[in-house]
Amino acid sequence: MKESSQSNISFKEFGQSNIIATTPAPHYRKVKPHAALLKVYKGLNTLNSVVIIMPEIYDPKKTIKIENVVASTAIGATLDLPKITLQLDGADYNKERFPGVVYRTKEPKTAALIFGSGKIVCTGAKSIDDVHNGLKKVFSELKSMGVDVMDNPEIIVQNIVASADLGAVLNLNAIAIGLGLENIEYEPEQFPGLVYRIAEPKVVMLLFGSGKLVVTGGKKPADADAAVDKIVEELDGLGLL
């Protein structure tokens, strides 16, 4: 019987029983059968492979954004605010409206509230680093005016305000009941959000029907992460997320 120049090879032993490859038979007589099959299999797998991309699981923590960091410090010296206003370019002082000088830095973008007692509040920063860098510029400006600023004034973070998105529409009425009215303030006629006070971390969370939320009262960025983890766990446990 005349030998065929081609042979059909089944890939059943490789878990591909539905694939048949046709390849010259002499090729298999020159090398080990299993090595030949593996070579063809790899070639087919490279040419015909389908890449399946699994959908990424939504993670609300990835949407956390620091909106404002408020910190305070004291330079250890009293200040003549009218004089400071005249010498500090861009400073704004109107004691009828506010008892301190408002001085804004451009890089980083912050606002320093300077009081006659020597206390300074920094607000508008988007990170703790921005707070430190902004206040360093204020200290430098005051020193250049002859103010006796103490070395390395302590900077204390008072509040971090962060926002996030749970990625789902929320039923605030059901949430108010589910989380317990003793921890909740919800009066939609006066404010569209639900106020939820958390003991650990000690923060206040504002939840909105759109799924967006605001965390305020944190002392460090990790407080916002922990608060989001907590609300996701609680709402998921209640079947409300």
Neighbours of 53 (CB within 10 A): 5
Report the pLDDT value the prediction gives residue 17, as an integer from 0 to 100: 42
Report the pLDDT value the prediction gives residue 228, as an integer from 0 to 100: 97
| Dist CA 36 CA 27 (whole Å) | 8
Report the pLDDT value the prediction gives residue 42, as an integer from 0 to 100: 54
Report the pLDDT value the prediction gives residue 30, as an integer from 0 to 100: 45
> Which stretches of the chain drop beneath a pLDDT of 70?
1-55
Contact 208/193 with Cβ under 8 angstroms? yes
Report the pLDDT value the prediction gives residue 239, as an integer from 0 to 100: 95
Report the pLDDT value the prediction gives residue 181, as an integer from 0 to 100: 83
Tokens describing residue 6: 């081609």
Report the pLDDT value the prediction gives residue 177, as an integer from 0 to 100: 93
pTM: 0.75
Report the pLDDT value the prediction gives residue 35, as an integer from 0 to 100: 56
pLDDT, one tens digit per residue, over 52-105 is 565 678 999 999 999 999 999 999 999 999 999 999 998 999 999 999 999 999
Angle ∠(97,103,109) on CA atoms, nearest 5: 125
Report the pLDDT value the prediction gives residue 39, as an integer from 0 to 100: 54
Report the pLDDT value the prediction gives residue 182, as an integer from 0 to 100: 87
